[in-house]
Structure formats: C-alpha cells, structure tokens
Amino acid sequence: MRRTIARLRGNSLVELVVLVAVALFLALTVQAYAIKPYRIPSGSMEPTLAIGQRVIVDRLTHRLGDNPSVGDIIVFNPPAGADAEQCGAPGQGEDTPYPCSRPVSRKSSETFIKRVVAVGGDTISIRGGHVIRNGREAKEPFIARCDAGGDCNFPRSITVPKGYVFVMGDNRGESDDSRFWGPIPIKWVIGHAVVTYWPPGRIGTL
C-alpha cells in the first residue's frame, strides 16, 4: 500500500513538472511570436501614452502579413543612428525644410513606439505639428499641441516609398521620429499596440 502511494506521489510530481514546463514553453512561445508587453520609455507619445505606461503588442497579425495602417500605434526597430537624428535626405537646414524622405539602410537594435501617419505612396508634409497627407490635413484630436518652431513645420512635401511607413509621436514637439530619420521599412515593424494594461486607471484599447 505504501509503495502504491509513493508511486502515485512520484507520478503526480512528474506530471506537475511536465505541466509547468509545458506552460513555460507556451508562455515563451506566445511572447516570442504572438504578443509581448512593452513599457513606454519616453514622453513622445503623450498624451495618448505616458512614461511608464504598459501596452500589449500584437506581433502575430503582422507576422501573418497584416501591414500597418494610418492611425496604428506600432513598435519597430528604427534606422541605426536614429537617436542622432541622421537623415538620408538633404534639406533640413533650408528655409523651407521638408521631412526626411528616406532612412539610413541599417536598422537599430533599439525599439521605438510611434503612430503611423502615412504609408507607401502617400505624400506628406507637416504644418503646426499637423500632418498634411495627400493634400488634406489629417484629423488628429489625440496629439499634443506643437508650438511654433522647426520641429513643427515641414511645409515641403515628400512621398513615402512603397513598402515603408512614416511614423510620428503624438507629442509632436517632443518626438524624434520619421521627420528627422525617415520612413521605416515595413519589415522593421515588430507589431502594433492594441491594449494598455497599466496603470489600472488607464486600461483600455488603442
């Protein structure tokens, strides 16, 4: 009888170990291929996303071929040197500046989070922090006010290349984004943010 009980306990322990291992494997697989939590590192997406806020990033739909659309908030690898605002096009010092039209060819290992404001084939310029896409001012009630200055005005239009997206932070006066280092290839996109889950007072969809 004692041997039977010991054997049952041993089997239960093995079963528990296997169950934990399977659960851990599934959790890691889901995080690697489907969803991943992400912490907002800066104020570039305020007021939509605050520093320290947490979001869930959907990685699966992008892997299955769903390309970003205008309005999506995405996590991506920026061009190498993005933190130094390296632009692949001239013109930033001109009297009538225009947004950077192409990035450097190498991607960074960093991850940024921004909003898609234009996709391949769109023409884009920026006036007073507002996007002018294909000749029309976009409706952007979510952005922070952008005071007068060079970062808020790029009145000359550029065309976003096919296979790329142009991204900007909602805090237009305090965001390093495609205006300065160009649109990003869709293949550099990691996924799009779908839900904010922390802090509890800001739980909701994006």
- CA 168 to chain CA centroid, Å, is 10
Report the residue count for the chain: 206
Hey, what are 187's tokens?
């293949």
125 is annotated as an active-site residue: no
114 is annotated as an active-site residue: yes
Place of tokens 């391949």: 120
Hey, what are 86's tokens?
């390296």
Residues 6+ apart with CB under 8 A from 143: 129, 130, 170, 171, 172
Q: Is the peptide bond before 90 cis (omega within 30 degrees of 0)?
A: no
Q: Which of 101, 114, 175, 178 is catalytic?
A: 114
Q: 198 forms bridges with which residues in the sheet?
A: 54
What order of strands is seen across the sheet that includes strand 130-133?
A: 136-137, 130-133, 123-127, 154-159
Q: Which of 12, 36, 44, 108 is catalytic?
A: 44
Place of tokens 């912490």: 39
Kindly list the catalytic residues: 44, 114
